[in-house]
């Protein structure tokens, strides 16, 4: 107990073997009820994982339908799914279906996948473990959040069954108050999902403040938790504004209260202000946890102390705070004042500073590290590459003069997919591989993991880089057909759309492959009998418990004697951030 | 290391959940959770206040004309009810902290009473408005106010309606705390739920303190 290393050995040192017969959180009780009414943050995390993956694949199929339609310039693929008396009617019905597809793709991916993706799954599972706590501060509230999520998801499924939704995921007024699709059901669903997100945020903030292991000072908290903490702040402070906005929209539609209706003296731009006051910070709800995952994986798989710990932690919080002040950059062409646009543009550029600090710190961590090219590391490297492109193209959109051109083109579509898919989804893949063996006590096939990471990267770039090209050539987003343009443009658009569609098929296959080998490993993967079977371990506390963890996480209270990034095999003279 | 682990099992009062080390840690967590939740509530209402600012800035004359159709004396009466209920709530918390069960029960009942009185007054206010034809939104049918008063009354109904919803939730919480107090669940050793419901109740009061002048005292 005199040196740091022997105090924090996995499973509490020698006593770990004595507990070999003990049940873990997975097999402690196998009944359905023990899962449905569990208060264990790990099981709740897994229930979230199953749910978000379901909706991710659902949203993904919608995306593939969209991409298939766009393979050719005219209306064809979707006309097979609708009925009509003649060609014109068919085309109109197919166009309606197309509007519903992109709306539901966006709404499902954002509200049901991206926002809960990393925090509600890996956050729930690992936040208490990394803090050395037995559970989150409010376990019952945690389970309640999950069921609110399920309820909100049902509202979305109900939307699907009752006329769909064609407003785009942004629900802009006045169209959302006049369309005859199921706006109330879907906005109420989003409202409910918002509360799931808020309550998870409350739980995490309190847990980080009050449940840390002895001696875990704020500078010994793993960076994943700094990211989750910043995310929670946004969830708590921005999501209620979405809640009231959506309620007002429901009242507007049901009662016509007129706050957003110009005919009654209201202001539709006010809706956009309200909506983006949440929905821009929401972008950081989606990406900050991904930053946290990358900080963990880069450091563990290069066996090197994270470079610039304090700067990465502070940049998470500052991104969260600056994120509240940039919503107007979604409204450069919505008729807000030029002065407001100018200020929002300037503040938007400021976001690039903390973001760049992170990217440089990760690259500096890699420098002279002992890098292992396994699946989590390949995904993390892919993240750095893709996120950097996503981030830098954001600068074109933050610039007023170029945004006027690029607004509502595929350039914007490509930009946010580079951040949300190339960023959050790839980080999600990094996380799932990084922690898989710890969570389930089984190994996935490492070669399958590497192949999947490479094909996701290739498929993703084919899908979305082509969209940058066609967007810069003026291809508008949300268009059902693109056959009414000049021959030169038509040939560019067609070629780029075809590359994009082929890429999306590769991406879809790679992700389906990932699902299969991960599911396969749950039943047939090589078992982890003790911690020396793990292919890698980190120095943060989630690696200091049994694999899979016991129901109450730790047999003995772990104590944080040192930084979570002090790898014993590294040369301390190289360690950055000290 | 082992001292810390033993400490978790040393004394285990019935209210202490297994994942906390001590009652103090549990109480501090619950209280922080409530404060964070209150921050969320304030942001929720801030949307309505922003809508109020934007629309009042657009239509100052309409707001002036429309607000005169609200009953200031009823609003003032409700303000008195809520402020007094905050006092009785604070007294109830104090009584729970000092293990004074009887006094806590009385004050909780008084708080519930004031909250119900608030709802009754609100009911009369709303029904009077409906009687005149002042309905929210497109159902608005009262023609005696110049400008576009339906926007003002739309906001009025949403703001006071959302607040009233919080009052009703508060009554439910107070009732729960009252019933638990009667069973003797709270004492100087454990009074977190009383304290946190109290915090929530003060928030409900505080929001009304802002709603009252903004809606009733425009002049």
B53: nearest Cα among B186, B187, B210, B203: B210
pLDDT for residue A15: 42
Residue B1 binned pLDDT confidence (cut-offs 50, 70, 90): very low
Point out which residues pair with A550 in neighbouring strands: A553
User: So what's the pLDDT on residue A531?
Assistant: 80
Inter-chain touch A270–B54, beta carbons under 8 Å: yes
A302 Cβ neighbours under 8 A, 6+ residues apart: A365, A366, A369, A370, A371, A372, A377
Write out chain B residues lying below 8 Å of A248, CB-based: 47, 51, 158
Host domain of residue B73: 22-216
Nearest CB to B51: which of A209, A236, A259? A259
Q: What is the mean pLDDT of residues A70-76?
A: 94
Are A274 and B50 a contacting pair at CB < 8 A? yes
ipTM score here? 0.91
**Which residue, among A210, A236, A552, would best test binding to B if mutated, counting the most B CBs under 10 Å from its CB?**
A210
Answer whether A481's CB lies under 8 Å from A74's CB.
Answer: yes
**Is pLDDT of B52 > 80?**
yes
* Residue of B146 and A129 predicted with greater confidence: A129
Q: Please give the pLDDT value at position B13.
A: 83
Q: Is the pLDDT of residue A278 over 50?
A: yes
> pLDDT tens-digit profile of A153-197?
999 999 988 888 999 999 999 899 989 899 999 999 999 999 999
Q: Say yes or no for a CB contact (<8 Å) between B4 and A557.
A: yes
The DSSP-derived string for A414-470 is: HHHHHHIIIIIIHHHHHHHHHHHHHHHSEEPPHHHHHHHHHHHHHHHHHHHHHHHHH
Using an 8 Å Cβ cutoff, are A532 and A519 in contact?
A: no
Task: In whole angstroms, give the CA distance from residue A519 to residue A508.
Answer: 16
User: Are A1 and B1 an interchain contact pair (Cβ–Cβ within 8 Å)?
Assistant: yes
pLDDT the model gives residue A354: 96
Which residue of chain A is at minimal alpha-carbon distance from B21? A211
- Would B3 be classed as within a structural domain? no
CA nearest to B214, candidates B135, B165, B170, B160: B160
Asked if residue A7 has pLDDT above 60, the reply is no
Three-class secondary structure of residue B144 per DSSP: coil
Q: Is there a contact between A244 and B28 if contact means CB atoms under 8 Å apart?
A: no
In contact, B207 and B163? CB cutoff 8 Å? yes
Would residue B14 count as lying in a domain? no
- Averaged pLDDT, B59-85: 95
Question: A243, B32: Cβ pair inside 8 Å?
Answer: no
Contact B1 A259 (CB under 8 A): no
CB contacts < 8 A, A to B, total: 137
A206: nearest Cα among A144, A150, A127: A127
Place of tokens 């906390």: B20
CB B178 within 8 A of CB B13: no
Overall size of chain A counted in residues = 578
B154/A255 Cβ within 8 A: yes
Compute the average pLDDT of residues B10-16.
75
Predicted confidence at residue A73, as pLDDT, reads 95
Is B28–A1 a contact, with Cβ atoms under 8 angstroms apart? no
Shortest CA gap A574–chain B (Å): 31
Interface touch A135/B19, C-beta < 8 Å: yes
Helices (DSSP H) in chain B: which residue ranges? 2-10, 23-58, 60-67, 72-97, 101-132, 149-182, 192-216
| pLDDT level of residue A5 (50, 70, 90 thresholds) | very low
A478: tokens are 């949300």
In chain A, the residue whose alpha carbon lies closest to the alpha carbon of B36 is A202
**SS3 at position A116:** helix
Whether pLDDT at B75 is above 70: yes
CA nearest to A2 within chain B:
B1
Residue B37 lies in a domain: yes
Nearest to B29 among A137, A240, A257 (CB): A137
Q: How many residues does chain B have?
A: 219
Cα distance between residue A356 and residue A308, in whole Å = 12
CB nearest B43 (choices: A206, A240, A256): A240
End-to-end Cα distance, chain B: 66
Q: Answer yes or no: are the C-beta atoms of A82 and A97 closer than 8 Å.
A: yes
Q: Answer yes or no: are the C-beta atoms of A88 and A190 closer than 8 Å.
A: no
Domains of chain B: total: 1
pLDDT digit string, tens, across residues A350-402: 999 999 999 999 999 999 999 999 999 999 999 999 999 999 999 999 999 99
Task: Give the pLDDT score at B8.
Answer: 44
**Beta strands A442-443 and A526-527, pairing class:** antiparallel
SS (H, E, C) B79-140: HHHHHHHHHHHHHHHHHHHCCCHHHHHHHHHHHHHHHHHHHHHHHHHHHHHHHHCCCCHHHC
Annotated domain spans of chain A = 38-543
Q: Which residues pair with A527 in a beta bridge?
A: A442
Chain B residues near residue A137 by CB distance under 8 angstroms: 29, 33
* Residue A11 confidence (pLDDT): 41
Separation in Å, CA of B93 to nearest CA in chain A: 22
Max Cα distance, chain B (Å): 77
Q: Calculate the CA A254 to chain-centre distance.
A: 33
Strand, coil or helix: A550: strand
Looking at residue B11, its pLDDT comes to 59
In a domain? residue B6: no
CA-wise closest residue to A493 among A478, A516, A476, A510 = A476
pLDDT band at B5 (very low <50, low <70, confident <90, very high): very low
Token pair in block for residue A169: 């995921």
**Predicted TM-score (pTM) of this structure:** 0.92
pLDDT, one tens digit per residue, over A19-55 is 446 789 998 888 999 999 999 999 999 999 999 999 9
pLDDT of residue A568: 76
Share of chain B above pLDDT 90, in %: 83
B63 to chain A, minimum CA–CA distance in Å?
A: 12
Measuring CA to CA, which residue among A196, A292, A289 is closest to residue A240? A196
List the single best residue of B47, B159, B160, B200 to mutate versus A (max A Cβ within 10 A).
B47
* Per-residue pLDDT at B3: 43
> Which one of A142, A197, A205, A206 would you mutate to disrupt binding with B, by most B Cβ within 10 Å of its Cβ?
A206
pLDDT at A558: 94
> Which is more confident, A265 or A184?
A184
Residue B150 lies in a domain: yes
Check CB contact under 8 Å for B137 and A266.
Answer: no
Interchain proximity A255–B137, CB inside 8 Å: yes
CB contact under 8 A, A202 and B33: yes
* Percent of the residues in chain A that have a pLDDT greater than 70, as a whole number: 95
CB contact under 8 A, A211 and B29: yes
Chain A residues with beta carbon closer than 8 angstroms to that of B47: 240-241, 244-245, 248, 274
- Residues A477-489 have a mean pLDDT of 94
User: What are the chain B neighbours of A247 within 8 Å (beta carbons)?
Assistant: 158, 162
CA dist B155 and B132 (Å) reads: 17
Distance to chain B for A184, nearest Cα, Å: 17
Lowest mean pLDDT among A30-34, A415-419, A472-476, B158-162: A30-34
**pLDDT > 90 fraction of chain A, expressed in percent and rounded:** 87
Interface mutation vs chain A, best among B1, B27, B153, most A CBs within 10 Å: B1
Report residue B75 as tokens: 């609003």
**Cis status, amide bond into A174, omega within 30 of 0:** yes
How high does pLDDT run on average in chain A? 92
The class of domain A38-543 in CATH terms is mainly alpha
**Which pLDDT score is estimated for B134?**
92
Judge whether residue A571 has pLDDT over 80: no
β-sheet bridge partners, residue A526: A443
Domain of residue B179, CATH code: 1.20.120.80
Cα separation, B70 vs B76, whole angstroms: 11
Q: Binning pLDDT at 50, 70 and 90, where does residue A570 land?
A: low
pLDDT band at A198 (very low <50, low <70, confident <90, very high): very high
**Residue A298: its H or E element:** helix A268-301
């Amino acid at each position: 107990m005199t040196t740091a290393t022997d105090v924090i050995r996995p499973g509490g040192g020698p006593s770990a073997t004595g507990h070999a017969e003990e049940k873990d959180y997975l097999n402690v009780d196998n009944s359905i009820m023990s899962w449905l009414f569990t208060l264990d943050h790990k099981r709740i995390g897994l229930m979230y994982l199953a749910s978000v993956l379901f909706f991710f694949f659902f949203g993904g199929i919608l995306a593939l339908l969209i991409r298939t339609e766009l393979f050719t310039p005219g209306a064809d693929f979707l006309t097979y799914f609708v009925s009509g008396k003649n060609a014109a009617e068919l085309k109109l019905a197919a166009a309606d279906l197309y509007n519903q597809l992109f709306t539901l793709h966006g709404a499902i991916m954002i509200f049901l996948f991206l926002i809960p993706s990393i925090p509600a799954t890996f956050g729930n599972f690992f936040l208490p473990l990394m803090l050395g706590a037995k559970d989150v501060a409010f376990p019952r509230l945690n389970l309640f959040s999950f069921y609110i999520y399920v309820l909100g998801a049902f509202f979305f499924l109900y939307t699907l069954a009752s006329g769909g939704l064609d407003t785009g995921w942004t629900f802009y007024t006045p169209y959302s108050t006049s369309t005859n699709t199921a706006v109330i059901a879907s906005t109420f669903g989003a409202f409910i999902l918002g509360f799931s997100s808020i309550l998870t945020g409350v739980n995490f903030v309190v847990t980080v403040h009050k449940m840390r292991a002895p001696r875990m000072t704020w500078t010994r908290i793993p960076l994943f938790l700094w990211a989750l903490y910043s995310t929670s702040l946004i969830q708590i402070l921005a999501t209620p504004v979405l809640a009231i906005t959506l309620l007002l929209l429901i009242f507007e539609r049901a009662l016509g209260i007129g706050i957003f209706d110009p005919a009654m003296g209201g202001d539709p731009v006010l809706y956009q202000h309200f909506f983006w006051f949440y929905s821009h910070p929401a972008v950081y709800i989606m990406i900050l946890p991904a930053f946290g995952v990358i900080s963990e994986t880069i450091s563990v798989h290069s066996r090197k102390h994270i470079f610039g710990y304090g700067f990465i932690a502070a940049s998470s919080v500052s991104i969260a705070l600056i994120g509240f002040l940039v919503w107007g950059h979604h409204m450069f062409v919505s008729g807000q004042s030029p002065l407001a646009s100018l200020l929002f543009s300037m503040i938007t550029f400021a976001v690039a500073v903390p973001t760049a600090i992170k990217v440089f710190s990760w690259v500096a961590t890699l420098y002279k590290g002992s890098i292992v090219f396994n699946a989590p590391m390949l995904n993390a490297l892919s993240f750095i590459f893709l996120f950097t492109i996503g981030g830098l193209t954001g600068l074109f959109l933050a610039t007023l003069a170029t945004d006027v051109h690029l607004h509502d083109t595929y350039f914007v579509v490509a930009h946010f997919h580079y951040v949300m898919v190339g960023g959050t989804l790839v980080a999600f893949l990094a996380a799932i591989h990084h922690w898989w063996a710890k969570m389930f006590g089984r190994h996935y096939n490492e070669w399958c993991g590497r192949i999947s990471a490479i094909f996701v990267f290739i498929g993703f770039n084919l899908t979305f880089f082509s969209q940058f090209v066609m967007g810069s050539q003026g291809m508008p987003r949300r268009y059902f057909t693109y056959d009414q343009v000049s021959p030169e443009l038509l040939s560019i658009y067609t070629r780029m759309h075809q590359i994009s569609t082929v890429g999306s098929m590769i991406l879809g296959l790679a992700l389906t492959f990932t699902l299969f080998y991960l599911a396969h490993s749950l039943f047939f993967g090589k078992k982890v009998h003790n911690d020396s079977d793990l292919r890698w371990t980190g120095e943060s506390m989630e690696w200091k418990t049994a694999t899979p963890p016991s129901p109450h996480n730790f047999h003995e209270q772990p104590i944080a004697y040192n930084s979570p990034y002090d790898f014993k095999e590294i040369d301390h003279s190289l360690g950055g951030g000290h | 290391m082992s001292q810390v682990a033993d400490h978790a099992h040393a004394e285990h009062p019935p209210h202490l959940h297994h994942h906390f080390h001590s009652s103090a840690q549990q109480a501090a967590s619950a209280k922080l959770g409530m404060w964070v939740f209150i921050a969320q509530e304030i942001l929720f209402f801030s949307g309505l206040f922003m809508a109020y600012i934007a629309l009042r800035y657009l239509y100052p004359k309409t707001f002036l004309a429309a607000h005169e159709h609200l009953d200031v004396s009823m609003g003032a009466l409700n303000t008195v009810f809520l402020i007094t209920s905050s006092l009785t709530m604070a007294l109830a918390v104090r009584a729970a902290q000092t293990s004074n069960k009887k006094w806590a029960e009385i004050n909780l009942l008084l708080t519930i009473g004031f909250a119900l009185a608030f709802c009754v007054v609100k009911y009369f206010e709303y029904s009077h408005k409906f009687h005149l034809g002042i309905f929210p939104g497109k159902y608005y049918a009262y023609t005696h106010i110049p400008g576009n008063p339906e926007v003002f009354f739309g906001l009025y109904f949403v703001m006071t309606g959302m607040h009233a919803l919080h009052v009703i939730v508060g009554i439910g919480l107070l009732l729960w705390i009252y019933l638990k107090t009667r069973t003797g669940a709270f004492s100087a050793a454990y009074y977190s739920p009383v304290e946190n419901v109290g915090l929530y109740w003060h928030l409900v009061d505080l929001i009304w303190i802002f709603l009252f002048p903004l809606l009733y005292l425009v002049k």
